[in-house]
Chain A
């Protein structure tokens, strides 16, 4: 057995391949670090900060920090989980999230994270932004009210679909998702219903029309078990494959 470099995650050894980030190595080793804008299939960019961990005493985003030998990573601590709760509360306060009427309820990563982290209250005054929906496309609906600016659709379009359907505009609190059309409407883009970008939205922004509530609430993904128990399913697990 070849000696692989390792780091400590909450006191336990995690092996890694050179070039892996802390997040990639942790997930591959079957260890969960809460995350939102990270997705194993796309380039990590570290904007949501939910995966913030204490790496050798410094607060870093686990999804963008390269794994290094003999480093000490703290993730599952009350301090960091409190931070994550606050970040999730901020995202809820920033947009217009009404879970009971949302088609994504039960399949929503933001909602699932909130439950899993134990977010019990709003925590902040809601900002109630004015974000009109885009229903121009015959097959797809864009409800920007729920956008958390994770850029997963932006990255999926660019890296997988080879398109530029989604992009970001504005800055600060006015930062928002736009589509690549002079009209500003989705129907005038080259989006296809089969695009990766369409299926990757972790919240209820990009929705297929006429298939709403096909799966009843109560039988959806995160209704069965919490996100921490399922996130590993999405991640590549070279270790386990190796053992098979």
Chain B
């Protein structure tokens, strides 16, 4: 990737090369756009027109898709595009100050391109580096563990126009930070172990039913044989989805297997966008074979021939090693035709990389994105298990779920079920970050009390824990006895800790901004409502809030809960309501005592004039503020 602007002279052959890599298929549009941007630094308009022409799709569809994903930029955004991760943990670690320093040093306003067209500096949603923040992305590449010195070094490299490829490797080192491993993070399996175990399990009793061998894909075999045996183990394990919703995996797989279609698909959801979560990053960095084993076991169980890994754009740095792992597995006959010598067991995996959209973590939006469209959640029913990718039966599973499925294929459902609690079998990996001495991954059997996690991670004077990110729940110290489990505190993994010094109002405001930034805009309540929530929170933050704002937020919450199109809108109010309930003083001390205060700030209105005249002396201010 070259950071400097390049001539567009040989644009056509370069775009054509990318298009042919994606088979000139419009379903690859998001990937084509992403690769064109990597090639040219942005999406040149002539390239968009060329793509439309060669894919035989309307130009407006190309720009419509390009403008949906926040990492794709049509207009030049500077040779270097710096995006600071804006999760609350980044802010707590000083990201705001570092961003200000960078903007000052590079002489650029946040969100704008510098006058010489060299660089832009902005914010992006959590990049999944909460255990080693503050973090940023420069032209899509992650740089964690920022310090003032590192920011200064980055500024120097930018000003010297050093190509990104020549920046020191140490900038880009991402740590795993595994603090507590259990059956999953300490699995000890070799690539393919899970697949071989599944095939062996299926072979038991297989010979007695030789007549049924002709089509294991069509589920003719009995309950003990072939893929059904694996499916039964998954069902017996009572494994539930690790992405947040907690749907029973075995039921999902079985429904997909029984659905009629021309083809079935396995999709691994690695669009780990929930702020505060980073477990999938580590699983993909250090346990990729287990993830792919899980996908292959799933393919065997449901009879799928194709799989996709949907990798969030923020984890672009993992792509090359993941592709290399896939290639190794093809050579080892763990992918491709006749996997592990089983005739007819054909399966391969393709990686799609996201481009900056949280809502694509919702399974039907993810499928839309896989099909090269804007990532808007579909109307359900029908569900993906019957009408998913290309309207064919599709399972979408979280990275951690598929890893657990691989373990179950090896050790059996009863073994898995013996861990955890009655309703939550197995283990859960928590992404612990925030005010703790040892941030990182902690894997526990389900049922672990919040207090124990806090103790193990070295948290002191803890005020609150945000469980499962902004769409989850915020609990206070009276609730630290509660347990991580579907029957008490279900979680996708985020475990963000706030000590007594933190302002919980600001935490909620950060989360409100996140939802507004990530709303896809499809439905009225979420598109407008999330922005109105931010406006109300900003008004309180600015010291102009009244009881009216609290009432308005309650009203917006009702509207979002009743009518939003998907989970993003349904949960967008959670952080505000939770903190308003538990930390009401954090809100009330910011309110004006009056019931109503005009939001119009007479002195603020002079701000533009002050900027234009370069004045900020007392004479340039009205004495309206105490």
- List the A side residues contacting B70 at CB < 8 Å: 171
Chain A 156-179, CB-CB to B under 8 Å as 1, else 0, gives 000000001011111111110011
**Chain A hits for B527, CB < 8 A:** 94, 149, 172-173, 175
Q: Counting CB contacts under 8 A, is B537 at the interface?
A: no
A148 to B527 Cα, complex, angstroms? 11
Q: Which residues of A contact B522 (CB under 8 A)?
A: 47, 175
- Known contacts A172-B516, A172-B518, A173-B521, A59 near B68 by CB under 8 Å: no
Q: Which residues of the other chain, B, contact A182 by a CB distance below 8 angstroms?
A: 45, 49, 59
* Cβ–Cβ contact A171 & B59, under 8 A: no
Q: For the complex, is B17 an interface residue (Cβ under 8 Å from A)? A: no
Interface string of B545-583 (1 = CB under 8 A from A): 000000010010011011111000000000000000000
Q: Which of B58, B516, B532, B558 contacts A90 (CB 8 A)?
A: B532
Looking at the assembled complex, report how far the CB atom of A172 sits from the nearest CB atom of chain B, in whole angstroms: 4
* Min C-beta distance of A63 to chain B, whole Å: 9
Report if B114 contacts A (CB, 8 A).
no
In the complex the two chains form, what is the Cα distance from A169 to B555 in whole Å? 29
Asked whether, in the complex, the Cβ of B565 is within 8 Å of the Cβ of A59, the reply is no
Q: A165's closest neighbor in chain B, by CB? A: B60
B555 and chain A: residue at smallest CB distance:
A86
Bound-complex Cα distance A124 to B525 (A): 13
A175 CA to B519 CA in the complex, in Å? Answer: 10
Q: Is the CB of A164 within 8 A of B60?
A: yes
- Asked if A145 lies at the interface with its beta carbon under 8 angstroms from chain B, I say no
For B517, the chain A residues whose CB sits under 8 A away are 172
Instruction: Assess A66 versus B381: contact at CB under 8 Å? Given A172-B518, A173-B527, A181-B59.
Output: yes
Residue numbers in A under 8 Å from B64 (CB-CB): 167-169, 178
A222 to chain B, nearest CB (A): 21
B63 at the interface (CB under 8 A from A): yes
- CB neighbours of A91 from chain B (8 A): 524, 528
CB distance from A114 to the nearest CB of B (A): 14
A166 to chain B, nearest CB (A): 8
- Is the pair A172, B530 in contact by a Cβ cutoff of 8 Å? yes
What's the nearest-Cβ distance from chain B to residue A211, in Å? 27
Interface residues of A in 28-59 (CB under 8 A from B): 45-50, 52, 59
* B 357-381 binary contact with A (CB < 8 Å = 1; else 0): 1000000000000000010000101
Chain A residue nearest in CB terms to B380: A64
Pick from A49, A61, A171: contact of B520, CB under 8 Å = A171
B521 touches A175 (CB 8 A): yes
Query: B173: CB under 8 A from chain A?
Result: no
The answer, yes or no, to whether B421 is at the interface (CB within 8 Å) is no
CB distance from B31 to the nearest CB of A (A): 19
Which chain B residues numbered 381 to 395 have a C-beta less than 8 Å away from chain A? Answer: 381
Question: Is residue A180 within 8 Å, beta carbon to beta carbon, of the partner chain?
Answer: yes
A171 engages B524 (CB within 8 Å):
no
Nearest chain A CB to B500 CB, angstrom units: 34
Q: A45-B379, A127-B531 are in contact. Are A171 and B525 (CB under 8 A)?
A: no
Q: For residue A43, give the distance in angstroms from its CB to the closest CB of chain B.
A: 10
Closest-CB distance, B114 to chain A (whole angstroms): 23
Please tell me if A87 contacts chain B, counting CB pairs below 8 Å. Answer: yes
Contact B63 A48 (CB under 8 A): no
- Bound Cα distance from A52 to B523, whole angstroms: 12
Q: How far is the CB of A150 from chain B (nearest CB, A)?
A: 9
Q: Out of B374, B524, B558, B599, which one reaches A49, CB within 8 Å?
A: B524
Which residues of B lie under 8 Å from residue A235 when comparing CB positions?
none
Check if B419 is an interface residue, CB within 8 A of chain A.
no
- Residues of chain B with a CB closer than 8 A to A175's CB: 520-522, 527
Q: Residues of A contacting B561 with CB < 8 Å?
A: 59
- Residues of B61-94 contacting chain A, CB below 8 A: 61, 63-64, 67-68, 70
Chain A 123-139 residues near chain B, CB threshold 8 A = 124-125, 127
B412 interface hit (Cβ, 8 Å): no
Contacts of B563 in A (CB 8 A): 49, 52, 59, 61, 83, 87
* Smallest CB gap from B379: residue in A: A64
Taking CB atoms, residues of chain B closer than 8 Å to A61 are 379, 563
Does B535 make an interface contact (CB < 8 A)? yes
A87-B379 contact, Cβ under 8 Å, with A52-B562, A172-B517, A172-B519: no
**Which of A49, A167, A172 has the most C-beta atoms of chain B within 10 angstroms of its own C-beta?**
A172
Within 8 Å CB of B518, what residues of A?
Answer: 172
B529 contacts chain A at the CB level, 8 A cutoff? yes
Q: Mark A101-136, 1 if CB is under 8 A from B, else 0.
A: 000000000000000000000001101000000000
Residue of B nearest to A179 (CB): B60
Task: Check if A87 sits within 8 Å of B60, measured CB to CB.
Answer: no
CA distance in complex: A165, B432 (Å): 49
A167: nearest residue on chain B (CB-CB)?
A: B60
Chain B residues near A90 (CB, 8 Å)? 524-525, 528-529, 532, 559
CA distance A144 to B60 in the complex (A): 16
Q: Which residue of A lies closest to B539 (CB)?
A: A125
A87-B559, A167-B64 known; A172+B531 contact, CB < 8 A = yes
Other 14 A-B pairs with CB < 8 A, given A93-B532, A169-B63, A171-B357: A49-B565, A59-B561, A83-B563, A87-B563, A125-B532, A125-B599, A127-B531, A149-B521, A164-B60, A167-B64, A172-B516, A173-B531, A179-B60, A181-B60
Question: Which 5 residue pairs of A and B lie closest in terms of their CB atoms, listed nearest first?
Answer: A175-B521, A167-B60, A164-B58, A180-B60, A90-B528
Please list the residues of chain B having a beta carbon within 8 angstroms of any beta carbon in chain A. Answer: 45, 49, 58-61, 63-64, 67-68, 70, 357, 374, 379, 381, 516-525, 527-532, 535, 552, 555, 558-559, 561-565, 599
22 contacts between A and B (CB under 8 A): A46-B565, A49-B563, A52-B563, A59-B563, A61-B563, A90-B532, A94-B527, A124-B532, A166-B60, A167-B63, A167-B64, A168-B64, A169-B68, A170-B68, A171-B68, A172-B516, A172-B521, A172-B527, A172-B530, A174-B521, A175-B522, A180-B59
